[in-house]
Amino acid sequence: MTNGRVDSHTVLYGVIGDPIRHSKSPIMMNRAFKETGVNGVYMAFHVTMDTLSDFVRGIRAMGIRGVNVTIPHKLPIMELLDDIDAGAKAIGAVNTIVNDNGRLVGYNTDGIGYVRSLKEEAAPNIAGKQIVVIGAGGAARGITYALLQENPSEITITNRTSSKAEELVASLDGGSVKLVASSNDKLEALCEGADIVINTTSVGMFPNVSESPIRGEWMKRGAVASDLIYNPLKTTFLQEAEAHGCIIHGGLGMFIYQGAYAFEYWTGKNAPVAAMRETVLESLQV
């Protein structure tokens, strides 16, 4: 362990966003460094749109090894980097930058982080499953791309604004997976037949915790109810689905594993996932 000591070999990492002071990434990633003995420090940088390109020059100038990127920079950062990984290109957003001796490469770990969490915590086998994704925003895009790599039989995307679900479906290559768009008014029937239902909207997020995108009893007993929200840790959607006999999966794991992949890309070491989760959980309970 480095015991939190900062010396002349300490490597700098960070997260950029606007706003950024709510971010749990610094406590999570600094815990990961401490746990694995990596001599690094991870900071939160409040970067506005008009200073984004200056910040990117700063990454190279200061030798910052890794940067996480959050709202509103996930798209605009792309044209400032030297290379973009194929997955991030297909998703159209970057949330992780690796600095290899001044060459900046962009990745997207949100979708693969979500899928790793889903498989480890709730649904070890996604192949052949029927999936309903509620919502068609940025998060839906990343997780649908990652879910497609797992060969489910079918993914249906529904959205309040159904044209956005159609646009999302049209922009992704489903391959052998049946990828279709629908609208929220079909959700009851769609949920009856689904093995996994995923809420990617903000419906049910604090402070509107009594709201839910669907009723839990619309789902098959034994199916997986998954919510990207982690505040609260167990949304009304998950509470109802659990009471109905479903397996539930909350959004905290996605946050932990998107950070775990970033840590692994930067350091080449396995991320100490349990310690990262413990630290974030502690911080959510204060």
Could you give the residue numbers annotated as active site?
74
Are 48 and 278 in contact, with CB atoms under 8 Å apart? no
Shortest distance (Å) from residue 106 CB to ligand NAP = 17
- Collapse the DSSP code of 124 into the 3-class scheme (helix H, G, I; strand E, B; otherwise coil) and give the result: coil
Q: Residue of minimal CB distance from ligand NAP?
A: 137
How long a stretch of residues is the chain? Answer: 286
Minimum CB distance to ligand NAP smaller for 96 or for 201? 201
Q: At 11, phi and psi to the nearest 5?
A: -100, 140
Minimum CB distance to ligand NAP smaller for 99 or for 263? 263
State the maximum Cα–Cα separation within the chain, in Å, rounded to a whole number. 60
Shortest distance (Å) from residue 60 CB to ligand NAP = 28
Taking the C-alpha atoms of residue 191 and residue 186, their distance in angstroms, rounded to an integer, is 9
Among candidates 146, 138, 169, which has minimal Cα distance to 156? 169
Minimum CB distance to ligand NAP smaller for 60 or for 164? 164
Minimum CB distance to ligand NAP smaller for 99 or for 145? 145
Binding site for ligand NAP (CB under 6 A): 110, 135-140, 159-161, 164, 200-203, 205, 228-230, 251, 254-255, 258
Minimum CB distance to ligand NAP smaller for 99 or for 232? 232
Shortest distance (Å) from residue 259 CB to ligand NAP = 9
Among candidates 109, 118, 100, which has minimal Cα distance to 264? 109
Are 28 and 256 in contact, with CB atoms under 8 Å apart? yes
Q: At 190, phi and psi to the nearest 5?
A: -65, -40
Shortest distance (Å) from residue 142 CB to ligand NAP = 8
Shortest distance (Å) from residue 100 CB to ligand NAP = 26
Shortest distance (Å) from residue 38 CB to ligand NAP = 22
Minimum CB distance to ligand NAP smaller for 20 or for 136? 136
Taking the C-alpha atoms of residue 129 and residue 106, their distance in angstroms, rounded to an integer, is 30
Q: Where are the alpha helices (DSSP H) in 172-267?
A: 187-192, 236-243, 252-267
Residue 226 CB contacts under 8 Å (≥ 6 apart), including other chains: 118, 122, 123, 196, 197, 198, 199, 248, 249, 250
